[in-house]
A and B are shown apart, each in its own frame.
Chain A
Amino acid sequence: MISVNQLVAVSLVYVAFLFAIAFFAERASARGRSGWLRSPLVYTLSLSIYCTAWTFYGAVGYAARSGMEFVTIYLGPSLVMIGWWWVLRKLVRIGRAQRATSVADLISARYGKSNLLAIVVTLMAVVGVTPYIALQLQSVTLSVSIFSNPTDADVLSQSTATFWVACGLAIFTVLFGTRNLNANERHDGVVIAIAVEAVVKLIALLAVGIFVVWGIAGGIGPMLDRIDSSPIGEWSMDRSRWVALTALSAAAFLALPRMFQVMVVENEDERHLQIASWAFPLYLMLMSLFVVPIAVVGLDILPAGSNPDLFVLTVPLAEGRGGLATLSFLGGFSSATSMVIVATLALSTMVSNHIVMPIWLSTQAEGAQVSGDVRNVVILARRASILLIIFFGYLYYRLSGGGAALAAIGLISFVGVAQFLPAMLGGIFWRGATRWGALAGLVVGFTVWVFCSLLPSFGPDAVLSAAVFDHGIAGLGWLRPQALFGVEGIDPTVHAIVWSITLNMVAFLGVSLVTFPQPLERLQGAQFVNVFDHSTQARGWDAAPATSEDLMVMAQRILGPADALALFRAEAERQGVTGHLPEPTQGFLQALERELAGSVGSATAHAMISQLVGGASVSVEDLMAVADESAQILEYSNRLEAKSAELSRTARQLREANEKLTALSVQKDAFLGQISHELRTPMTSIRSFSEILRDTDELEQSEKTKYASIIHGETIRLTRLLDDLLDLSVLENGQVSLNLDTGNLNDVIGQAVLSAGGDRSTRLSVRHENAELDHPLTTDLDRLRQVFINLITNAQKYCDAPQPELHIDAMDGGDGLRVVFHDNGTPIPAESRSLIFEKFSRINDKDGSGAGLGLAICREIMARLGGDITHEPRSDGNAFIVHLPVRAAMAAQ
């Protein structure tokens, strides 16, 4: 017989062994050689913390009491794992993308980082898991008591033993779980230790099973006969219990804080899920393989009244197999410790992150938030939380009297944590879920659970009086904890499951529908529900070439092709892979992010890089920062736009001014060129002929005369040109003084005809029509005459008709006087008409005697006199029309 002392020694050695494993694992992990620590196998084994002492010991007890129903506890998680593609994958993806550290963190993150929700979930988790921890304490205590001398085992000493077990577990957990503080809440040492424990408990249970089948029953055939003849073999199935319990265990598997810890937080690679999806159900199958044989044999060979929860220990002991019993004890011990460690670890994370730290931070002056300080406080908070949670478990154990069957306690806990499920699943599949909906569901479900499941578990008169059990609260019959709303006759567990989950969901859906999500909730809702649209977790670092290309494409889009190419080329050179895309090393990613941040802001850059690299999805803070940046950029761009509009207006004005200046400069150049040409041409003739006259002796007299008259003609031309230029310049500068006089328009015309006609050589016949009419006017008569003379000489020069004629007719045009000069020459071509009043425009100038200034001068004079001069083509010639006011001078002044 093994003594308790020996057992304690074995346990201590085992714990030391676990410590060593955890220690080496953490050291390997710190050195970056953690590949084997995070293999799919270790992940699968770590999931086995689902199988607690309840499963290890309790399943047999469950089978002994209720037959095959215990299978439901394995069935639920197996279904979840097999259907991992649907829910679990999404949960893991979201948890990792959001860096969720716990169920509370995940739910609060989904509903807009609500602190209130986090606190509620944390409290619910603590209350819900406490019976479970009590259950582990109880199982360890019970298993130890089996080995102790039955004579001194009284209730008091059992309580003492439980206390010490609790202390041991607390120390164990504190040492294991808070040895160091990791930002991502991962615990390599713990995970490897619980993987080892998973192996130990599987081997222990299989060993006992094999011993029972082949050692006691004598093989598979006799074993099956025994089962058939026992009451367990009768497949009496309560359908409602089966469905409810399967669903419950599936829900608990997803919602248990410790399962979230190993499944999501400790998950290294999403692909591990794929392997675990068949490996974990296999593990569960092996764990359940010998449950029935052990139960059947235990019922057969042990005296009636033995606790079936302990058959796994008592059967080998009864057969005198101390070594096997010790192994079995270690299996149970492993189940209990691994559950307590991970559960308290997960809970302490919640308690310290969502309750202790916010309170501590709010009491601190801002200066105290040095990182070292916070670190110590966090570790302290974790340790205190661990001790507190285990103390609660111990308290529950004491209050519940340790009497209830293991399986019953486990189920109570399951129903409690299952209350998280509507908020969790609703959050990841339904964008319409709101924080008030989640809160309402949680609070309602939790309240129903406390009333229908938790409080009754202490037994009548422990917390709830027997009167409440029988007649409801305050005598209201519909408020009986096991017959809510008067629904009687249902199994209490099913009753609690159905009512709590139903009311939870009704509250969750109802309140979500009538409340509106806040912007942050909306954002997070989209992130959660559409997590597969924007996180690219499946592609890891090993997909480096694709990542590099993506980075390049993105960089090009933001930095422009040339800059992006230069950046990548420089990095490739630095890495020694010239001609290829550079590896996306950490350093390069940071450099690229800095580069991008210069263009799009740091938050956007970070979000973009992390999205492409795939390690993390975009967090809400990232998105909010992006939104802020976008708003700033938008405002900036609005201002820029206004500025740019202003600039382009100015630029347009400048351009117009410049065009005007250029046009002026071109005009000036053209004018100077023209003047030069007009002056130099006659000078050329004069110089050339005067040189000929000077240098040539043998010239004929007629030649001499001809050349001299050319010189003479050219000097006259020059003089006239200079006169015209001066005249025009004076007129254009507005420095002209008018000599106002009153006269008759027809008299002025007559004088002009006489002056122009002085040269009898012209063939032009001038007809002055209606010369007898009297059109008195007051104006500068000399200037007006100059205009008329110019018009008449132009007709003389340019009228190309065989019988050139000019009709001059003055008339009263109503708003002033009008003189028409109508010749019968070829009409001026349309394209030249706009030019005829411009300087140096000589249309059809055959002999080149004019400088092209005449009409320009006429236009200037008429403008001075308050009138104008226009040209009208006629079918039979050209008409120049002079308008002038009766009191021309007045208009001019």
Chain B
Amino acid sequence: MGKHVLLVEDETNIIEAIQFLLSREGWQVDTHSDGATAVEKVRNMRPDLVVLDYMLPGKNGIDILTELRADPDFERLPVLMLTARGQSRDRDLAERAGVSRFMTKPFSNTEVVTAVRDLVQLAQ
């Protein structure tokens, strides 16, 4: 049974790549590229997992994650965060906000696919 994944990312090329990789695994992938409305999107869509970029227009990934974790419905929602900033401070911030997995760009495709698989299985 295909899992529902929401990809929040603003770089078209990266959206294309991740969408390709996850669809191939049999998951249904929806994309959203605006930070400001991302939380609302999650609430409406109720995905099984969110792949969240750190730097987004409108609202950054940390704030989105914090807001999600404050909602009891999304306390345990698996969130994989991706960042291109590559500073260790960002990892700390993300972990404090309650990230499930944190990955620095550029990533290897296998890594991303494995991480998403693990997170979904863990959540079941």
Closest to B105 in A: A684
CB within 8 Å of B: which A692-750 residues: 692, 695, 710, 714
User: Is B13 in the interface zone, CB < 8 Å from A?
Assistant: yes
Q: Cβ of A684 and Cβ of B84 under 8 Å apart?
A: yes
User: Is B10 in the interface zone, CB < 8 Å from A?
Assistant: yes
User: Is B11 in the interface zone, CB < 8 Å from A?
Assistant: yes
Give bound CA distance, A677 to B87, whole Å: 10
Q: Cβ of B84 and Cβ of A685 under 8 Å apart?
A: no
Q: How far is the CB of B54 from the nearest CB of chain A, in Å? A: 9
Q: Cβ of B14 and Cβ of A685 under 8 Å apart?
A: yes
User: Which chain B residues lie closer than 8 Å to A417 at the CB level?
Assistant: none
Q: How far is the CB of B18 from the nearest CB of chain A, in Å? A: 8
Give bound CA distance, A122 to B84, whole Å: 102
* Stretch of A269-277, A592-600, A606-614, A668-676 that contacts chain B: A668-676
Q: How far is the CB of A723 from the nearest CB of chain B, in Å? A: 20
Closest to B109 in A: A691
Q: Cβ of A677 and Cβ of B84 under 8 Å apart?
A: yes
User: Which chain B residues lie closer than 8 Å to A847 at the CB level?
Assistant: 12
CB within 8 Å of A: which B10-69 residues: 10-14, 16-18, 20-21, 55
User: Which chain B residues lie closer than 8 Å to A689 at the CB level?
Assistant: 13, 17
CB within 8 A of B109: which of A695, A710, A848? A695
CB within 8 A of A676: which of B12, B84, B110? B84
Q: Cβ of B84 and Cβ of A848 under 8 Å apart?
A: no
- Of the candidates A669, A685, A686, A687, the one having the most CB atoms from chain B within 10 angstroms of its own CB is A685
In the complex, per-residue mask of A835-862: 1 if CB is within 8 Å of any chain B CB, else 0: 0000000000001100000000000000
Q: A692-B20, A710-B13, A714-B13 are in contact. Are A687 and B108 (CB under 8 A)?
A: yes
CB within 8 Å of A: which B76-124 residues: 84-87, 104-110
Q: Cβ of B87 and Cβ of A680 under 8 Å apart?
A: no
Q: Cβ of B109 and Cβ of A677 under 8 Å apart?
A: no
Give bound CA distance, A689 to B16, whole Å: 9
User: Which chain B residues lie closer than 8 Å to A554 at the CB level?
Assistant: none
Closest to B82 in A: A684
Q: How far is the CB of A696 from the nearest CB of chain B, in Å? A: 8
Give bound CA distance, A687 to B105, whole Å: 10
User: Which chain A residues lie closer than 8 Å to B18 at the CB level?
Assistant: 688
CB within 8 A of B17: which of A676, A692, A848? A692
CB within 8 A of A684: which of B55, B87, B107, B110? B107
Give bound CA distance, A679 to B20, whole Å: 22
Q: How far is the CB of A414 from the nearest CB of chain B, in Å? A: 98
User: How many chain B residues touch the partner (CB < 8 A)?
Assistant: 22
User: Is A681 in the interface zone, CB < 8 Å from B?
Assistant: yes
Q: A684-B14, A688-B21, A689-B17 are in contact. Are A676 and B106 (CB under 8 A)?
A: no
Give bound CA distance, A681 to B86, whole Å: 11
User: Which chain B residues lie closer than 8 Å to A685 at the CB level?
Assistant: 11, 13-14, 16-17
User: Is A683 in the interface zone, CB < 8 Å from B?
Assistant: yes
User: Which chain A residues lie closer than 8 Å to B107 at the CB level?
Assistant: 684, 687-688
Q: How far is the CB of B31 from the nearest CB of chain A, in Å? A: 15
User: Which chain A residues lie closer than 8 Å to B86 at the CB level?
Assistant: 676, 680
Give bound CA distance, A848 to B10, whole Å: 9
Give bound CA distance, A706 to B14, whole Å: 14
Q: A680-B105, A683-B105, A695-B109 are in contact. Are A688 and B14 (CB under 8 A)?
A: yes
Q: Cβ of A848 and Cβ of B87 under 8 Å apart?
A: no
Closest to A677 in B: B84
Q: A669-B87, A684-B84, A710-B16 are in contact. Are A691 and B108 (CB under 8 A)?
A: yes
User: Which chain B residues lie closer than 8 Å to A692 at the CB level?
Assistant: 17, 20-21, 109
Closest to A670 in B: B85
Give bound CA distance, A684 to B55, whole Å: 14
Closest to A717 in B: B13
Q: A676-B86, A688-B106, A691-B108 are in contact. Are A681 and B11 (CB under 8 A)?
A: yes
CB within 8 A of A687: which of B11, B55, B87, B106? B106
User: How many chain A residues touch the partner (CB < 8 A)?
Assistant: 23
Q: How far is the CB of A831 from the nearest CB of chain B, in Å? A: 15
CB within 8 A of A683: which of B10, B20, B55, B106? B106
Q: How far is the CB of A851 from the nearest CB of chain B, in Å? A: 13
Q: How far is the CB of A678 from the nearest CB of chain B, in Å? A: 8
User: Which chain A residues lie closer than 8 Å to B21 at the CB level?
Assistant: 688, 692
Closest to B84 in A: A680
Q: How far is the CB of A886 from the nearest CB of chain B, in Å? A: 43
User: Which chain A residues lie closer than 8 Å to B13 at the CB level?
Assistant: 682, 684-685, 689, 710, 714
User: Which chain B residues lie closer than 8 Å to A673 at the CB level?
Assistant: 85, 87
Q: Cβ of B12 and Cβ of A848 under 8 Å apart?
A: yes
Closest to A672 in B: B87
Give bound CA distance, A585 to B17, whole Å: 88
In the complex, per-residue mask of B1-16: 1 if CB is within 8 Å of any chain A CB, else 0: 0000000001111101
Give bound CA distance, A672 to B13, whole Å: 23
Q: Cβ of B85 and Cβ of A677 under 8 Å apart?
A: yes
User: Which chain B residues lie closer than 8 Å to A669 at the CB level?
Assistant: 87
User: Which chain B residues lie closer than 8 Å to A688 at the CB level?
Assistant: 14, 17-18, 21, 106-107, 109
Give bound CA distance, A685 to B12, whole Å: 9
In the complex, per-residue mask of A338-376: 1 if CB is within 8 Å of any chain B CB, else 0: 000000000000000000000000000000000000000
User: Which chain B residues lie closer than 8 Å to A681 at the CB level?
Assistant: 11, 14, 84, 105
User: Which chain A residues lie closer than 8 Å to B110 at the CB level?
Assistant: 691
Give bound CA distance, A681 to B56, whole Å: 13
Give bound CA distance, A96 to B105, whole Å: 92
Q: How far is the CB of A843 from the nearest CB of chain B, in Å? A: 11
Give bound CA distance, A680 to B14, whole Å: 11
Give bound CA distance, A572 to B18, whole Å: 76
Q: How far is the CB of A688 from the nearest CB of chain B, in Å? A: 4
Q: How far is the CB of A669 from the nearest CB of chain B, in Å? A: 7
User: Which chain A residues lie closer than 8 Å to B14 at the CB level?
Assistant: 681, 684-685, 688
Give bound CA distance, A680 to B103, whole Å: 12
- Of the candidates B84, B86, B108, the one having the most CB atoms from chain A within 10 angstroms of its own CB is B84
User: Which chain B residues lie closer than 8 Å to A687 at the CB level?
Assistant: 106-108
User: Which chain A residues lie closer than 8 Å to B11 at the CB level?
Assistant: 681, 684-685, 848
User: Which chain B residues lie closer than 8 Å to A672 at the CB level?
Assistant: 87
Q: How far is the CB of B101 from the nearest CB of chain A, in Å? A: 16
Closest to B16 in A: A710
Give bound CA distance, A687 to B82, whole Å: 15
Q: Cβ of B87 and Cβ of A676 under 8 Å apart?
A: yes
Closest to B54 in A: A677
Q: How far is the CB of A735 from the nearest CB of chain B, in Å? A: 28
Give bound CA distance, A695 to B21, whole Å: 11
Q: How far is the CB of B52 from the nearest CB of chain A, in Å? A: 15
User: Which chain B residues lie closer than 8 Å to A714 at the CB level?
Assistant: 13
User: Which chain B residues lie closer than 8 Å to A695 at the CB level?
Assistant: 109
User: Which chain A residues lie closer than 8 Å to B105 at the CB level?
Assistant: 680-681, 683-684
Q: Cβ of B85 and Cβ of A676 under 8 Å apart?
A: yes
Closest to A688 in B: B17
User: Which chain A residues lie closer than 8 Å to B16 at the CB level?
Assistant: 685, 710
If A682-B13, A684-B13, A848-B10 are given as contacts, then 7 extra A-B residue pairs at C-beta distance below 8 Å, sorted by A number, are: A677-B84, A677-B85, A683-B105, A686-B106, A687-B108, A689-B17, A847-B12
Shortest 9 CB-CB contacts between residues of A and residues of B: A680-B84, A685-B13, A688-B17, A684-B106, A684-B105, A687-B106, A677-B84, A673-B85, A691-B109
**Residues in B lying within 8 Å of A, measured CB to CB:** 10-14, 16-18, 20-21, 55, 84-87, 104-110
20 CB < 8 A contacts A-B: A669-B87, A676-B84, A676-B86, A677-B84, A679-B84, A681-B14, A683-B105, A683-B106, A684-B11, A684-B13, A684-B17, A684-B105, A684-B107, A685-B13, A686-B106, A688-B17, A692-B17, A695-B109, A848-B10, A848-B12
